[in-house]
Amino acid sequence: MFQIIKRDGMGRIGKVKTAHGNFTTPTLMPVIDPTDIVLTPREIKREFGAELIITNAYLTLLHFGKNPDLKIHQILDYDGPIMTDSGGYQILRYGSIDVPPEEIVRYQDLISPDIATILDIPTGVNASREYAAETVRITLERAREALRILSNPNVMWCGPIQGGLFTDLVEHSAREMGKLDYKFHAIGSPVELLNDYRYTEVVDLVMAAKKNLPLERPVHLFGAGHPMMLSLAVAMGCDLFDSAAYILFARDDRYMTAEGTLHLNELEFLPCECPVCSSTTVKEIRREPLDEKIKLLARHNLHVTFGELRKIRQAIVDGRLLEYVQIKCRAHPSLLAALKRFMDYSEFIERFDPVTKKSAFFYSGSESIKRPEVIRHQQRMKSRYTPPRQDTLIILSGFGEKTNVDAGDSHVLKIVPPFGVVPEELEEIYPLSQNEVPKELEAEVIAAAAESLENYLKRHGSSYRQVILFNDRSCWGESLVRACQPVAEKLKVIQANEKNLNKLWHEFSAEWIGIFNG
């Protein structure tokens, strides 16, 4: 049903087989209101390449439920994959709906979408802990009951996760829902957070669910469809997104970009290369009749969103998704804060990241010290590495091309930001020499490298008789010297002369610090 094709970080490209065709993840499902269709599903598929759409089963029941023979594909006049939501958003917005959960399930079974959703109780962001716990309990109860009444084998069902801002409740919801026989899962209650740019809380919500859901099941992030945050959501392991924003924003003269939202009245130029923006001007759009203006803006909004999804997919193929996320998250301070929060989960992320990639590692900011490649190297240095039996350790901290040191029988250790210590015999292992890093580094990166050296010397310093440190003060200052204190406090310091320095590294131009001699 769900076949994972490519991975990077926690992001993945997958294939899903449905009764009405296959689709590729990550993907966006444009929301279609069955009572107010502005762009038809056929138009959306033809112009934007949409492979999956979503509509509301509750609204469909209210308007078309009197004709039990009508299937959802007939109602929408569309022969591709369709997902139905259950009315949970209406509960979140209005407090309740007047249809029992069993009726919503049976109706979806009857109209035969490719993917259907049980009627959950959204937690929301303002819920008390008691109410949040109740939404989890009721949603799980409904999920178990739904499995007992399902009858259509062509429908794959989605079990939503609730709990809101209470991550322990989200974890419980995900664990218990994951035990049930659902093919998809959806993470509930992010819409209000997304609307208020509370992206760090979205990260905690998503990661609490992802860490406890079955890995083989696709995950849908309810209501997330703005292109500015899609790359971060994909990096967290979300596979499906739905959004009515393309049309809601258009009705409010809002113009989506991959970095944020602009208002039509603020624009003098159209900063986009999509077919809409390439064939018209701001003034021309403003002069259009209201219905036509809405359609033009909706089409632009979809072009931008699907264009961003294609870029994200290619970044996964290239093995540079997290670099892309680092770039995109600098579009808004709240996104950058969310990226830093996401990197707090780096040890979990590392479990899913490919060991080798076809692209070099590009440093993209201080968050790079928590990238999976860096975490993996540090973990393996700690758990798997034993240095060779040699009396002298030479520590090189310069930059530039590969340094060929005539070190004789000495063991050479390099300081390679952001990875930290790299034994010379391991430096060809990806990505320890397949990387691009600027010479001017943030304080966090310098501190992390110094800590890496200090930890190495605490573990292995006693196996050497002497340690030689070349310190590039222009980059590292005194941080590496301080990192050597676990060795220096026990060993005598001897000043090296120019002859010795040139013998070890005649091209090194930084200040010589000293020999710690046993």
Cα R_g (the chain), whole angstroms: 28
Six token digits for residue 2: 């769900």
As a whole number of angstroms, the distance between CA 164 and CA 400 comes to: 49
Q: Measuring CA to CA, which residue among 98, 170, 107, 177 is closest to residue 142? A: 177
Please tell me which residue in 33, 77, 85, 242 is annotated as part of the active site.
85
Catalytic, 196? Answer no
CA angle 374, 378, 380 (to 5 degrees): 115
Instruction: Provide the CB-side half-sphere exposure for 417 (13 A, CA).
Output: 28
Question: What CA–CA distances, in Å, run from 382 to 73, 294, 376, 418, 419?
Answer: 56, 58, 10, 16, 13
Strand, coil or helix: 227: helix
List the end-to-end C-alpha distance of the chain, in Å, as a whole number: 63
Six token digits for residue 143: 């999920």
Angle between helix 101-111 and 129-149 (nearest 10): 40
- What does the DSSP 8-state code read for residue 147? H
Six token digits for residue 194: 């997304």
Q: Are 238 and 220 contacting, i.e. CB atoms less than 8 angstroms apart?
A: yes
One-letter amino acid at 404 equals: N
Q: Where are the strands (E) in 350-453, listed by range?
A: 361-362, 392-396, 411-416, 420-423, 435-436
As a whole number of angstroms, the distance between CA 125 and CA 135 comes to: 12
Q: Are 469 and 505 contacting, i.e. CB atoms less than 8 angstroms apart?
A: no
Instruction: Provide the CB-side half-sphere exposure for 177 (13 A, CA).
Output: 39
- Hey, which residues are catalytic here? 85
